[in-house]
């Protein structure tokens, strides 16, 4: 009776082991599929982010260029005003300030 009981126990343990192995294998395949889908999604997001960053960079470069042009215009206007003020001061007989060299 003992050898038969041992054989039955061994068969049951072997069968349960096979069932668990099959379940584990199926779960691993599902997890691999999920990981592949997540990686594909991340690759798509990465591509979108790179495109968005490139667009933002080009917009920023354009804005900086416009800002620099405006600064140049303002500096030019300031030079003109300074020149006009110098002419007015010389016309009314103003003396150069102490510590400033004449050109």
Domain count, the chain: 1
Give the per-residue pLDDT at 97. Answer: 75
Whether the predicted model's global pTM rises above the 0.75 cut: no
Give the per-residue pLDDT at 13. Answer: 93
The answer to the question of residue 9 being in a domain is no
The two structure tokens encoding residue 24: 């584990």
Give the per-residue pLDDT at 99. Answer: 64
pLDDT 10s per residue in the chain (103 long)?
798 999 999 999 999 999 999 888 888 899 999 999 999 999 999 999 999 999 999 999 999 999 999 999 999 999 999 999 989 998 898 887 776 665 5
Give the per-residue pLDDT at 14. Answer: 93
The answer to the question of residue 10 being in a domain is no
Task: Kindly state the helix (H) or strand (E) to which residue 39 belongs, with its residue range.
Answer: helix 2-91
Residues near 96 by Cβ (< 8 Å), separated by ≥ 6? 102
Question: What range defines the domain where residue 28 resides?
Answer: 24-90
The answer to the question of residue 4 being in a domain is no
């Amino acid at each position: 009776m003992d050898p038969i009981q041992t054989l039955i126990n061994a068969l049951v343990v072997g069968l349960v082991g096979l069932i668990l192995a099959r379940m584990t294998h199926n779960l691993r395949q599902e997890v691999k599929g999920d990981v592949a889908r997540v990686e594909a999604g991340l690759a798509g997001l990465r591509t979108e982010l790179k495109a968005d960053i490139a667009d933002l960079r080009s917009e920023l470069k354009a804005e900086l260029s416009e800002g620099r042009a405006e600064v140049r215009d303002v500096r030019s206007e300031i030079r003109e005003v300074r020149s006009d003020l110098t002419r007015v001061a010389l016309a009314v007989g103003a003396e150069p300030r102490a510590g400033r060299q004449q050109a």
